[in-house]
Structure 1
Amino acid sequence: MIYIKDEEFIRGNCPMTKEEVRILSVAKMELREEDRVLDIGAGTGSISIQMSKICRDGSVIAVERDKEAIEVLYKNKEKFQADNLEIIEGEALEAESKIEGSFDGIFIGGSGGNIEEIIKKYSLKLKKGRKIVLNFITIDNLYKAMNTLRQLEFEVECTQVSISKTKGKSYMLFANNPIFILSGRK
């Protein structure tokens, strides 16, 4: 699978999971071509689109509440011809009742401050032996999520990633925010 570069995505003013973090996060999910996966807090859709290309014989459901991000998400879906991607507009906890069936993988990129409740509700939709992967910038949310997954008896692993890239003629390094990639196997 060829991974999609940041500059290929339509962005707008919405935050996006950066390329290196996206690649690692999706790899942690251990996806197969036929998998059915879920992206909570999909934003611009960079994770959703990448998963739709990996799970080409499966399907992806993306949940997003921000109107501007939803607009960009639809544009990226069209640009990348992600026909196996369904977009559900709304807040994650409210949208949960509209989402039926079980999933081979769940990615949570945004929680709107409800991380513990989102994990508890959506973990019920995850198949046994499969993984939920979450990205965090803040230690507080990381702790809440890690603690919730442990309470639910998931096997938990956390990776902290710091990415710096060169810019300009002198190739000076500029750092992105460190990101925590949390994964839990049910």
Structure 2
Amino acid sequence: MPQVALPHDAKAGPTKPEVRAVSLEKLDLRQSDHVVDVGSCTGSVTIEAARRVERVTAVERKPERLEVTEKNLAANEYDAAVTLQEAEAPEGLPADADALFVGGSRNFEAVLDHAVETDVDRIVMNVARLEVAGRAVEAFRERGILEEVVQLQVSHGYELVGATSFDSQNPVYVIVGRRDAEGLA
């Protein structure tokens, strides 16, 4: 499959390709899964998931961002049935999700409660701010779903005076949860 095309901007920035790759790998997606993308924004995670599973629900609270998700979906190829839901999570979250990606930090505790109550098997949350990451790790731990935390630092090469230098992006914390988690080793 070609890379995800994101011709429409949501002014919040998509989850970067390298972070998407790790996050989706940590979700351990199966073709029969129903994946929920909470805070879909540009739709980058929705699109990647829709290329791997049967069903995806994209939940976004801002109508203009949900419209961007819809436009970016139209610019890409995928086989899944995709549902777009304008809602403030946890409202609008389906009760039959197998895997949940949380791309924003708003109401994440209530989203995690919903995931636990509805027996979501796998959860990944991406966080860019250290203080929120700390609160999120504790929230996962308190609910007995914390499996691991991964910090990603992506740097892209560029030419500098005839040689290669690197431009680093902010680190991202990938917090991984499972219904049957045994906690951090």
TM-score bucket of the superposed structures, by smaller chain: 0.7 to 0.9
Q: Please list every run of at least 4 consecutive aligned residues from structure 1 whose deviation after the TM superposition is greater than 6 angstroms.
A: none
Using a 3 Å threshold, how does the CA distance of structure 1 residues 126 and 79 change in structure 2: closer, same or farther? Answer: farther
| Residue 71 of structure 1: how far off its partner (Å) | 1.8
In structure 2, the residue matched to 1:86 is 83
Separation in structure 2 between the aligned mates of residue 102 and residue 3 of structure 1, nearest angstrom: 29
TM-score by length of 2: 0.86
* Contact persistence 2:105–2:132 (CA under 8 A): no
Query: Matches of 1:14 and 1:67 in 2, distance apart?
Result: 14
Q: Structure 2: give runs of 5+ residues left out of the alignment.
A: 180-185
Q: For residues 97-118 of structure 1, what are the alpha-carbon distances to aligned partners after superposition, in whole Å with 9 as ceiling and x for unaligned? A: xx3x322111000132x22122
Query: 69-78 vs 114-123, which deviates more?
Result: 114-123
Question: Larger helix proportion, structure 1 or 2?
Answer: 1
2:51 aligns with: 53
Distance 1:70-1:38 versus aligned 2 partners, 3 A rule:
same
State the match for 1:116 in structure 2.
Answer: 109
- Partner residue of 2:72? 76
- Higher mean alpha-carbon deviation, 78-87 vs 157-166, is at 78-87
SS in structure 2 of the partner of residue 21 of structure 1: helix
Distance 1:177 1:3 in 2: 26
Cα distance, 1:38–1:3 mapped onto 2, change above 3 Å: farther
Where does residue 10 of structure 1 map in the other structure? 7
Q: What are the within-5 Å matches in structure 2 for residues 1-186 of structure 1? A: 2=1, 4-5=3-4, 8-12=5-9, 13-55=11-53, 58-82=54-78, 84-96=81-93, 99=94, 101-112=95-106, 114-127=107-120, 130-168=121-159, 170-186=163-179
Question: Could you list the runs of 5+ residues in structure 1 that have no partner in the other structure?
Answer: none
Residue 133 of structure 1 and its aligned partner are, at CA, apart by 0.4
Q: 1:110 to 1:3 in 2, by over 3 A?
A: farther
Provide the TM-score with structure 1 as the length reference. Answer: 0.86
Name the stretch that deviates more: 130-139 or 168-177. 168-177
Which stretch shifts more, 76-85 or 37-46? 76-85
**Distance (Å, rounded) in 2 between the aligned partners of 1:78 and 1:65:** 20
Shift in alpha-carbon separation, 1:171–1:71, aligned structure 2, 3 A:
farther
Q: CA RMSD in A?
A: 1.8
Q: 2: distance between equivalents of 1:3 and 1:163?
A: 21
Q: Percent identity?
A: 29
Equivalent position SS for 2:136: helix
